[in-house]
Amino acid sequence: MYVLLVYDIKEKRVGKMLKLCRRYLNWIQNSVFEGEITEVKLKELLAKAADFLDTEEDSVLIFKSRSQQWLEKQVLGQERNRLDTFL
Amino acid sequence: MYVLLVYDIKEKRVGKMLKLCRRYLNWIQNSVFEGEITEVKLKELLAKAADFLDTEEDSVLIFKSRSQQWLEKQVLGQERNRLDTFL
């Protein structure tokens, strides 16, 4: 499935989250990732994130779509780097 | 249509962008908005944003889906405020 992940977390944990997300998804904007991922891999990512995130302070939103074709993307201004996953 | 809007813009323009987006969409996380909006209204929003954004520095991503039902939302940690649009 296609996933869009957006986080808003305290600065001290951002580096760890960025590194984790990059192992599973493609970075498209500050704190925004997208990519094809399986349900199992997504669970793994979220379990790892839950290990160090503070759920009282941090927020991670995940939007899942069965296929990327249901989502049309439009960009105003800069599209940030698109990195391939490292897996 | 259902729209997800995520921006990454320089701090000095954030207040203006936040205020603008709140007139059209619902705020769900720091720099993330969602909502039902027509193509015409979205164009209006983006035209207004283009008036003050610096397209060399700023980035606005818009994900459009014909219907919200194609997107399943999952939250880890806090779900931020959900404000109704002021229109």
Task: Examine residue B23 and state whether it is found in any structural domain, yes or no.
Answer: yes
Convert the pLDDT of each residue in A13-65 to its tens digit. 999 999 999 999 999 988 999 999 999 999 999 999 999 999 899 999 999 99
Phi/psi of residue B40, each to 5°? Answer: -65, -45
Q: Where are the alpha helices (DSSP H) in A1-87?
A: 11-22, 39-52
Residue B84: pLDDT band with limits 50, 70, 90: very low
For residue A6, list chain B residues with Cβ-Cβ distance below 8 A. 6, 29, 32
d(CA B14, CA A15): 23
Task: Examine residue A81 and state whether it is found in any structural domain, yes or no.
Answer: no
Task: Examine residue A85 and state whether it is found in any structural domain, yes or no.
Answer: no
| Contacts of B22 by beta carbon, 8 Å cutoff, 6+ apart | B33, B83, B85, B86
Query: What distance in Å separates residue A22's CA from the closest CA in chain B?
Result: 18
Task: Examine residue A52 and state whether it is found in any structural domain, yes or no.
Answer: yes
- Which of A28, A57, A63, A65 should one mutate to test binding to chain B, selecting the residue with the greatest count of B CBs within 10 A? A63
Residue B38 has pLDDT above 50, yes or no: yes
Cβ of A61 and B31 within 8 Å?
A: no
CB B7 within 8 A of CB B59: yes
Residue B74 has pLDDT above 70, yes or no: yes
Q: Is B8 annotated as a binding residue?
A: yes
Query: What distance in Å separates residue A3's CA from the closest CA in chain B?
Result: 9
Q: Specify the CATH number for the domain of residue A12.
A: 3.30.70.240
Which residue range(s) make up the domain with A55? Answer: 2-68
CB B85 within 8 A of CB B28: no
Task: Examine residue B83 and state whether it is found in any structural domain, yes or no.
Answer: no
d(CA A82, CA A69): 18
Task: Examine residue B46 and state whether it is found in any structural domain, yes or no.
Answer: yes
Tell me what pLDDT residue A10 has. 93
Considering only CB atoms, A76 lies closest to which of B50, B78, B80, namely: B50
